[in-house]
Amino acid sequence: MRKFIYIFIVLLLSGCHDDYWELGDSYVYNNGCIYYVIDTCHRDGVRYEGLEELVPFDVHNFGYNEHYIIAYQKPDSAYYIDFNQTIPDSTTCFQEKADSLETLLGKMLSIQNCYWIIRKKDKRVFGPMSESDFNRRCKRMGISISWVREMK
């Protein structure tokens, strides 16, 4: 139950985007994040999804094919500060998640323009990384994917 409460809070906090894209193989871009769909159900005509966050808020662009997802993110520290203040429970599980997010945020903010690669077959996430590291890794992995939106 706590897991679904956490997912609900994440979706509420990321409500300033209004995009939803299915990226294939149970991956979705939803409201500025990239998720893996764990479970989907329908109640009263509404679709509910159990989501595992793979690339946190604030994803500005992404691309995908049958094997990989790429993402560009410009992290917003205000979002993460708000999120940490709204964690409803001080249990070890939530504290570990908050500590993990804080460590990740520090890395993301030091890079500022973050790039990510997700290998679909095993949900392996590479990132955050700088643009030059991203380009090198794409070349090494043989990834050639176009961005969904025009990069500015």
Percent of the chain with pLDDT over 70: 68
Q: How many Å apart are CA 118 and CA 65, to the nearest integer?
A: 11
Are the C-beta atoms of 40 and 47 separated by less than 8 Å? yes
Residue ranges of alpha helices (H) inside 16-151 are 77-85, 92-111, 131-141
Q: With bands split at pLDDT 50, 70 and 90, how would you rate the model's confidence at 89?
A: low
Are the C-beta atoms of 4 and 88 separated by less than 8 Å? no
Question: Model confidence over 22-78: pLDDT tens digits?
Answer: 999 999 999 899 999 987 766 777 666 788 889 988 999 999 999 999 999 998 776
Are the C-beta atoms of 81 and 114 separated by less than 8 Å? no
Taking the model in full, what pTM does it have? Answer: 0.74
